[in-house]
Amino acid sequence: MTALQRIRQEVDDYHPFLKLLILLVGAGAAAGIARFVFGLGATTNLSDTYPWGLWISFDVVTSVPLAAGAFVLGAIVHCFHIKKLEPLIRPAIVTGFLGYSLVCIGLLLDLGQPQRGWHVFAYPNLHSPMFEVALCVMSYTTVALIEFLSPVCEKFGLHVPLRVLRTIEVPLIVLGASIATLHQSTIGTFFLIAVDKLHNLWYNPILPLLFWISAVFTGMNIIIVEAVLVHRYLKQPDETELLSTLTKIIPWFLGIYLCLKLYALVFLSARPLFDRPMLTVLFLAEVVLGIIVPLILFMGKRIRTNGSLQLLAASMVVFFGLVLNRFNVSMFGMIQKNQQTYYPSFLESVVTVGIIAAHILFFALIARYFPIFEHHPETVDYEIPDHFQRIDKHPVAEERV
Amino acid sequence: MSASTTTDISQQRTFLIDLTRCTGCRSCQVACKQWNQLEAEKTCFFKGEGYQNPPTTSEHTLTTIKFRDYQKHGQNEFAFYKEMCMHCNDPACVSVCPVSAFIKTPEGPVVYDTERCIGCRFCMVACPFGIPKYQWSKALPLVMKCTGCYSRIKEGLIPACAKACPSAISYGSREDMVNTAQKRLAARPDKYVNRIYGLNEAGGTSVLYLSALPFNELGFKKVTMQPLPSFTWAALRFVPAVFITMGSTLSFISWLTHRKERLRKEAEAGKGAHTEHKEAKP
């Protein structure tokens, strides 16, 4: 049997949903090629009025905080030492790594001269938020890749690299969290330059801080969404009890975020605030459905034991509190009065759908071929200096069910 | 960090465009196209606002005369607005470009290095005047913008549009241009609105305008009086501190929690050994 046949057999085995995803990813890739063949003007609805469109708003500004789960959970588990959440950390790292890789792909498609990406190193401009984000995203993607190597090495039984990875695990998490803090907030700094363009509802000097806090709570909510979906569709154990720990942390961040947002609105924003009905509705949707309602849900008792309720509240935060917020800031709030509106073109949408599909597809495939849900420390030779007490020397054959 | 505080802008080359003296002949538009060898655009009358043609600036048109009809004493009148790069003293495009493709030259013009640009289009988002335009027709596009005819200035010439203009554009040091503008405002207060657009807009620009109509009615954008880079720098300057604080705090917390864990384990081990010892004794 040739390799090709083997691959075909393997793919035939996949769930129809995965096959659909493969199709969408293929379509996205074709659309991406079309962008380079026919040019940005012919394939997108971008214009001099809207130099940034769906690709920046979703594939970069929104995807980066959506991939925040890895650094947030890493810090919770390894720095704050809430060890019981460790089973969630590998899926979170995979999501983070995939998310950032796809951000890089989205960015390369959107750049006019992607072949010159290295110019960022050659001609750095320390006053540019874009320089800062480019540097951070590249280094964070590298960190996430290194973190992701653990299950890969386990899969192939590479014990020596695994030991090295174990040794640098905590420093790597600290480094990753610090880098992520920088670029999560600096994406907010992008829009500080749009002082006469971004609507007053969103423009305020603490936008970078708001972006960082919302990235942190989104990271936790994404983990909840992911864990519940993985339990339902990938036949993994029910993690409701573990997730209840996160549901106790989330309301603090949501609460602080809400207070800061209202403070910024009242004291730090220019007037008028509510002069455009459509923007007011979008703002209210973001605040009420994305922060206040989930905050109430997360403060209740019932959410600690109810997986469906966790999924509902977490999805509300992700869709309204984060995705809508980022679109409000980077797209809707930037539209001026009496300006023609921007709609993404068909090709732009196909690329973005392809990127989302790629994320889900690669996650499912990695889950299929690499040990990301089951951790088997007992299979590893751990005769290494263990400064961080990371390794249980006498593994108890204790199966989590 | 801002250019306006570190460099003397009074000697920078500056355009003074007196819109009351503009006749709308558009020779500046033609001269700009010729000097910069820009392609013609297929246009038609009344596509944009009134008589202006082409309707907007674009990758092929770096300066354009905007037309505005209005009524004065029951008579139809025209007012004009020459749209071009303002060559800010502390330009937003210079500060946001990740690869330093924009440079504010000591002579005044803001120029763009086509060899460096990676095409992120942040300059287009950042520019308060909407000046940088993109080559949307190309697969690997670049930004197009007015260079203030930097190549001509280097040779001791004045910019093409200023040279071609029969009446409205004066060109010289910023100091002289501001003085001239103030003199004109003082001499004919009835003729002008009492304002020099560009004196403080976006922290001051190397293009100054005088007008008979209020500037917003002519289509001038409402912009902040502060240099735009100051807004992002207010947040960006904290980056090293945030990185160090975040890194050291997390490191310290990790050290603390791991130490606690180690002590707990040692205590447990000690207790275990102790009980074993006890058991062994009898």
Which tens digit of pLDDT belongs to each residue from A264-322? 999 999 989 999 999 999 999 999 999 999 999 999 999 999 999 999 999 999 999 99
pLDDT band at A164 (very low <50, low <70, confident <90, very high): confident
pLDDT at B4 over 80: no
Q: Does A132 sit within 8 Å of B229, measured CB to CB?
A: no
Q: Does B95 sit within 8 Å of A174, measured CB to CB?
A: no
Contact list in B for residue A52 (CB cut-off 8 A) is 121, 125
Q: What's the mean per-residue pLDDT of chain B?
A: 90
**Residue B258 CB neighbours (<10 A):** 18
pLDDT at A380 over 90: no
pLDDT value of residue A238 = 87
Contact list in B for residue A188 (CB cut-off 8 A) is 235
pLDDT at A112 over 60: yes
pLDDT value of residue A152 = 87
- Residues A354-370 have pLDDT tens digits of 999 999 999 999 988 88
- Residues B18-77 have pLDDT tens digits of 999 999 999 999 999 999 999 998 877 776 666 788 888 999 999 999 988 888 888 888
SS3 B133: strand
Which of B122, B133, B254 shows the shortest C-beta gap to A130?
Answer: B122
Q: Which chain B residue is nearest to residue A81, measuring alpha carbons?
A: B257
By the CB < 8 Å criterion, does B103 face chain A? no
Q: Does B141 sit within 8 Å of A40, measured CB to CB?
A: yes
What the block records as the tokens of A65 is 């905080």
Contact list in A for residue B250 (CB cut-off 8 A) is 75, 79, 173-174, 177-178
Write out residues 79-138 of A within 8 Å (CB-CB) of B: 79-81, 110-117, 119-120, 122-125, 127-132, 134
pLDDT value of residue A385 = 43
pLDDT at A377 over 60: no
Q: Does A128 sit within 8 Å of B96, measured CB to CB?
A: yes
- Exposure of B278 by Cβ count < 10 A (0-12 exposed, 13-18 middle, 19+ buried)? exposed
pLDDT value of residue A381 = 45
* Contacts for B207 with CB less than 8 Å, ≥ 6 apart: B14, B15, B17, B84, B85, B86, B87, B198
Helix (H) or strand (E) holding B169: strand B169-173
pLDDT value of residue B48 = 66
- Residues A1-54 have pLDDT tens digits of 688 888 888 888 888 999 999 999 999 999 999 999 998 999 999 999 999 999
**Residue B184 CB neighbours (<10 A):** 19
Write out residues 255-274 of B within 8 Å (CB-CB) of A: 257-258, 260-262, 265
Minimal Cα–Cα distance from B116 to chain A, Å? Answer: 7
Contact list in A for residue B138 (CB cut-off 8 A) is 39, 41
Q: What's the mean per-residue pLDDT of chain A?
A: 89
Contact list in A for residue B95 (CB cut-off 8 A) is 125, 127-128, 193
pLDDT at A392 over 70: no
pLDDT value of residue A375 = 57
Minimal Cα–Cα distance from A248 to chain B, Å? Answer: 20
Write out residues 3-42 of A within 8 Å (CB-CB) of B: 36-42
pLDDT value of residue B276 = 56
Which of A47, A79, A182 shows the shortest C-beta gap to B250?
Answer: A79
Which of B141, B234, B243 shows the shortest C-beta gap to A178?
Answer: B243
Q: Does A197 sit within 8 Å of B125, measured CB to CB?
A: yes
Which of A111, A175, A193 shows the shortest C-beta gap to B92?
Answer: A193
**Do β-strands B13-18 and B64-72 pair in parallel, antiparallel, or remain unpaired?**
unpaired
Higher pLDDT, residue A78 or B132: B132
By the CB < 8 Å criterion, does B51 face chain A? no
**Mutation for testing the A interface, residue in B242, B250, B268 having most A CBs under 10 Å:** B250
Contact list in B for residue A38 (CB cut-off 8 A) is 139
Contact list in A for residue B101 (CB cut-off 8 A) is 123
Q: What is the 3-state secondary structure (H, E, C) of chain A?
A: CCHHHHHHHHHHCCCHHHHHHHHHHHHHHHHHHHHHHHCHHHHCCCCCCCCCCHHHHHHHHHHHHHCCHHHHHHHHHHHCCCHHHHHHHHHHHHHHHHHHHHHHHHHHHHCCCHHHCCHHHHCCCCCCHHHHHHHHHHHHHHHHHHHHHHHHHHHHCCHHHHHHHHHCHHHHHHHHHHHHHHHHHHHHHHCCCCCCCCCCCCCCCCHHHHHHHHHHHHHHHHHHHHHHHHHHHCCCCCCHHHHHHHHHHHHHHHHHHHHHHHHHHHHHCCCCCCCCHHHHHHHHHHHHHHHHHHHHHHHCCHHHCCHHHHHHHHHHHHHHHHHHHHHHHHCHHHCCCCCCCCCCCHHHHHHHHHHHHHHHHHHHHHHHHCCCCCCCHHHCCCCCCCCCCCCCCCCCCCCCC
By the CB < 8 Å criterion, does B159 face chain A? no
Question: Do the beta carbons of residue B198 and residue B204 sit within 8 Å?
Answer: yes
Question: So what's the ipTM on this one?
Answer: 0.90
Minimal Cα–Cα distance from B128 to chain A, Å? Answer: 7
pLDDT value of residue B3 = 44
List beta partners, residue B173: B13
Minimal Cα–Cα distance from B260 to chain A, Å? Answer: 10
Mean pLDDT computed over B98-118:
96
By the CB < 8 Å criterion, does B5 face chain A? no
By the CB < 8 Å criterion, does B214 face chain A? no
Mean pLDDT computed over B91-106:
96
pLDDT at B121 over 70: yes
By the CB < 8 Å criterion, does A267 face chain B? no
What is the C-alpha separation between B279 and B282, in angstroms, rounded?
7
Q: Which chain B residue is nearest to residue A36, measuring alpha carbons?
A: B139
pLDDT value of residue A388 = 44
Minimal Cα–Cα distance from A194 to chain B, Å? Answer: 6
Least confident of A77-86, A170-179, A340-349, A359-368: A77-86
Higher pLDDT, residue B12 or B51: B12
Contact list in B for residue A49 (CB cut-off 8 A) is 130
Which of A125, A174, A188 shows the shortest C-beta gap to B99?
Answer: A125
- Residues B133-177 have pLDDT tens digits of 999 988 889 999 999 999 999 999 999 999 999 999 999 999 999
By the CB < 8 Å criterion, does B213 face chain A? no
By the CB < 8 Å criterion, does B186 face chain A? no
- Residues B170-222 have pLDDT tens digits of 999 999 999 999 999 999 999 999 999 999 999 999 999 999 999 998 889 88
By the CB < 8 Å criterion, does A208 face chain B? yes
pLDDT value of residue B115 = 95
**Do β-strands B13-18 and B207-210 pair in parallel, antiparallel, or remain unpaired?**
parallel
Write out residues 17-46 of B within 8 Å (CB-CB) of A: none
Which of A75, A185, A389 shows the shortest C-beta gap to B250?
Answer: A75
pLDDT value of residue B42 = 84
Minimal Cα–Cα distance from A47 to chain B, Å? Answer: 7
- Residues A223-261 have pLDDT tens digits of 999 999 989 988 888 888 889 999 999 999 999 999 999
What the block records as the tokens of B42 is 């297929």
List beta partners, residue B133: B144
- Residues A212-224 have pLDDT tens digits of 999 999 999 999 9
Q: Which chain B residue is nearest to residue A82, measuring alpha carbons?
A: B257
